[in-house]
């Protein structure tokens, strides 16, 4: 008896932590194998005499599509449901979803498989691997080209703005398909804010004041904490306020000569504010990843900035009423709040397969972006429906009326049309830069350096990382 995708996952815990482990090496490996991949049949074009939309013969065994992904536990079961649904909907193709560990582990496994010419057809690559993949020409088939070759209607405009802009190339075409997308939100303890008689803070100035009130009234040990501080307090802080994060429009315009702008006034002031709030108790550094979540769940802080995908974890542990609100913005910043962009992952189509396999890949990706699939995903996880069809389906069904917290992230991602500075961060070796940012932040909080000195040093270190990346990709 063949097991379903969900049955294969029994007993596995979720592993989705973002780390820099193996990613620097992945850059080198992918660049090195790009040419070899093309030389060994990893072409974007169908083989001579074959149609890009080839179908298996009637009565033939279904064509297997290999899909490497990073979800286990409840998220894995939700993904498995979609895979099983696609497999049951037709008999020409069978998607084989294989759990490969954490995001970095999936990427490392994909790199190794490409080198050995045993790559999957689809790989789930986390957001910070985007630049590495994009500049590895010959390793992947751009998803917009895949869909065009297989006569499947597909456009960047099918997806919500904050997701589409992040995974598009310089001309606005999607290289990979957005899938599991999240964005930071402000979680708040409704009971605490009700006792203070205040609404969820909209600006950073207001958040600081509310956080101080929480402490001074003895409602919690600290006012607020943060998850993924490198992501939420640097990258998303920049795009939400329309602040430049790096030159060349945050790296979208090229690789050579791109520089981060971490030591400019907006970042220096923000890091100094966090340090000052830390001294007064209004803020507590919660660690990397979502390590600060227990502080909020246990009532030790009244507010928490983290990914919208953390919702289920909080809902499963909190013994109080909580809500979601948009991230705070900087009062007076021109255009703020602008739009946020996505974290999470997108699906990359790996080169080297036969045309008939790509025909099935295209149909599977079309299914995943459909209204039914995206509304199911968006209503059963903390992620947002990335397709407009999925969002519209949930909205028309009344889901967001009954569950307004689930719409906060979508509204952030679609708040305004992305600008050149808010469409995303497209930098090579971004995991290393995130490590540098966290080092600078903790140094200031610990009183070892001023915000200006720490971010001057971080800028120098990050720019060396970018120079190395440019050299690796030959640009």
- Residue 416 included in any domain: no
The confidence band for 24, taking pLDDT boundaries of 50, 70 and 90, is low
In the predicted model, is pLDDT for residue 7 greater than 70?
no
Mean pLDDT score, 438-447: 98
In the predicted model, is pLDDT for residue 4 greater than 50?
no
What pLDDT sits at residue 369? 97
What pLDDT sits at residue 57? 63
Same domain assignment for residues 64 and 166: yes
State what percent of residues in the chain have pLDDT above 70.
88
Question: Quick count: other Cβ atoms within 10 Å of Cβ 419?
Answer: 14
The confidence band for 355, taking pLDDT boundaries of 50, 70 and 90, is very high
State what percent of residues in the chain have pLDDT above 90.
83
Mean pLDDT score, 420-432: 94
How far apart CA 234 and CA 433 sit, in angstroms, is 11
Same domain assignment for residues 38 and 168: yes
Give one DSSP letter per residue of 116-146, joined into a string: TT---SEEEEEGGGHHHHHTSTTSEE-HHHH
Candidates 163, 176, 178, 180; CA nearest to 75 is: 180
Same domain assignment for residues 160 and 32: yes
The confidence band for 323, taking pLDDT boundaries of 50, 70 and 90, is very high
What pLDDT sits at residue 315? 94
In the predicted model, is pLDDT for residue 44 greater than 80?
no
Mean pLDDT score, 23-35: 55
- Residue 410 included in any domain: no
Same domain assignment for residues 83 and 150: yes
pLDDT in tens, 444-465: 999 999 999 999 999 999 999 9
How far apart CA 23 and CA 381 sit, in angstroms, is 27
pLDDT in tens, 138-171: 999 999 999 999 999 999 999 999 999 999 988 8
The confidence band for 216, taking pLDDT boundaries of 50, 70 and 90, is very high
Six-digit token pair at 309? 């995908």
Residue range of the domain that includes 228: 184-339+422-472
How far apart CA 70 and CA 102 sit, in angstroms, is 5
Mean pLDDT score, 260-268: 98
310/170: higher pLDDT: 310
What pLDDT sits at residue 170? 82
In the predicted model, is pLDDT for residue 5 greater than 70?
no
Lowest mean pLDDT among 79-83, 286-290, 298-302, 362-366: 286-290
What pLDDT sits at residue 42? 38
The confidence band for 474, taking pLDDT boundaries of 50, 70 and 90, is confident
- Residue 413 included in any domain: no
Mean pLDDT score, 351-368: 97
- Residue 146 included in any domain: yes
The confidence band for 19, taking pLDDT boundaries of 50, 70 and 90, is very low
What pLDDT sits at residue 412? 97
What pLDDT sits at residue 33? 55
Same domain assignment for residues 349 and 247: no
Same domain assignment for residues 61 and 197: no
- Residue 54 included in any domain: yes
CATH number at residue 211: 3.40.190.10
Same domain assignment for residues 78 and 169: yes
Six-digit token pair at 457? 């040093």
In the predicted model, is pLDDT for residue 475 greater than 80?
no
The confidence band for 290, taking pLDDT boundaries of 50, 70 and 90, is very high
How far apart CA 434 and CA 447 sit, in angstroms, is 20
Give one DSSP letter per residue of 411-460, joined into a string: HHHTSS---TTTS----TTHHHHHHHHHHHHHHHHTTSS-HHHHHHHHHH
The count of structural domains within the chain is 2
The confidence band for 60, taking pLDDT boundaries of 50, 70 and 90, is confident
What pLDDT sits at residue 123? 98
Candidates 76, 151, 138, 175; CA nearest to 363 is: 151
Interhelix angle 405-413/388-396, nearest 10 degrees: 140
* DSSP assignment letter at 260: B
* DSSP assignment letter at 176: S
Six-digit token pair at 126? 């986390």
- Residue 172 included in any domain: yes
What pLDDT sits at residue 169? 87
In the predicted model, is pLDDT for residue 325 greater than 80?
yes
Same domain assignment for residues 351 and 334: no
In the predicted model, is pLDDT for residue 360 greater than 90?
yes
Candidates 468, 461, 463; CA nearest to 440 is: 461
What pLDDT sits at residue 15? 35
What pLDDT sits at residue 115? 92
Query: Which of 382, 397, 412 is the endpoint of a domain?
Result: 397
Six-digit token pair at 181? 């997308």
What is the overall mean pLDDT for the chain? 90
Same domain assignment for residues 215 and 131: no
How far apart CA 7 and CA 20 sit, in angstroms, is 31
Question: Quick count: other Cβ atoms within 10 Å of Cβ 214?
Answer: 26
Same domain assignment for residues 362 and 317: no
Contact 274, 445 (CB under 8 A): yes
Same domain assignment for residues 125 and 69: yes
- Residue 25 included in any domain: yes
What pLDDT sits at residue 28? 54
Phi, psi of 63 (to 5 degrees): -80, 130
pLDDT in tens, 370-388: 999 999 999 999 899 999 9
Lowest mean pLDDT among 62-66, 138-142, 167-171, 391-395: 167-171
Candidates 460, 464, 438, 21; CA nearest to 234 is: 438
Lowest mean pLDDT among 55-69, 194-208, 330-344, 418-432: 55-69
The confidence band for 433, taking pLDDT boundaries of 50, 70 and 90, is very high
Same domain assignment for residues 286 and 372: no
212/5: higher pLDDT: 212
Phi, psi of 240 (to 5 degrees): -65, -30
């Amino acid at each position: 008896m063949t097991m379903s995708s969900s049955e294969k996952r029994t007993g596995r815990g979720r592993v989705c932590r973002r780390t820099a482990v193996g990613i620097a090496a992945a850059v080198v490996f992918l660049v090195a194998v790009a040419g070899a991949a093309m030389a060994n049949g990893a072409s974007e074009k169908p083989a001579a005499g074959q149609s890009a939309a080839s179908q298996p013969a009637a009565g033939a065994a279904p064509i297997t599509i290999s899909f490497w992904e990073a979800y286990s536990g409840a998220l894995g079961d939700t993904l498995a449901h979609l895979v099983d649904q696609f497999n049951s909907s037709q008999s020409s193709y069978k998607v084989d979803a294989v759990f490969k560990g954490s995001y970095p582990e999936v990427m490392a496994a994909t790199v190794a498989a490409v080198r050995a010419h045993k790559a999957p057809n689809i790989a789930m690559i986390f957001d910070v691997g985007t630049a590495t993949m994009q500049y590895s020409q010959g390793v992947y088939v751009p998803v917009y080209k895949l869909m065009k070759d297989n006569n499947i209607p597909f456009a960047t405009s099918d997806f919500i703005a904050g997701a589409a802009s992040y995974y598009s190339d310089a001309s606005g075409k999607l290289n990979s398909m957005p899938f599991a997308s999240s964005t930071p939100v402000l979680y708040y303890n409704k009971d605490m804010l009700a006792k203070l008689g205040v609404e969820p803070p909209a600006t950073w100035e207001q958040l600081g004041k509310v956080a101080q009130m929480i402490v001074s009234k003895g409602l919690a040990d600290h006012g607020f904490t943060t998850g993924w501080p490198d992501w939420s307090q640097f990258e998303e802080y920049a795009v939400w306020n329309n602040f430049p994060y790096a030159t060349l429009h945050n790296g979208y315009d090229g690789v050579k000569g791109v520089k981060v702008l971490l030591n400019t006034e907006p970042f220096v002031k923000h890091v100094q504010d966090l340090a000052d709030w830390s001294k007064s108790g209004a803020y507590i550094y919660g660690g990397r990843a979502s390590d600060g979540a227990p502080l909020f769940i246990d009532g030790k802080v009244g507010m928490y900035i983290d990914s919208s995908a953390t919702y289920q974890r909080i809902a499963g542990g909190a013994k109080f009423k909580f809500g979601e609100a948009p991230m705070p913005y900087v009062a007076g910043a021109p255009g703020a709040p602008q739009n946020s962009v996505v974290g999470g992952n997108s699906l990359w189509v790996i080169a080297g397969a036969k045309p008939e396999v790509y025909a099935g890949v295209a149909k599977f990706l079309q299914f995943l972006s459909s209204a039914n699939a995206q509304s199911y995903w968006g209503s059963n996880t903390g992620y947002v429906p990335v397709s407009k069809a999925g969002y519209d389906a949930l909205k028309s069904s009344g889901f967001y009326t009954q569950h307004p917290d689930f719409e906060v992230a979508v509204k952030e991602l679609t708040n305004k049309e992305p600008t050149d500075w808010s469409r995303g961060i497209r930098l090579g070796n971004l995991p290393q830069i995130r490590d540098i940012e966290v080092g600078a932040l903790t140094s200031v909080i610990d009183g070892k350096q001023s915000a200006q000195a720490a971010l001057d040093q971080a800028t120098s270190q990050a720019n060396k990382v970018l120079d190395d990346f440019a050299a690796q990709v030959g640009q």
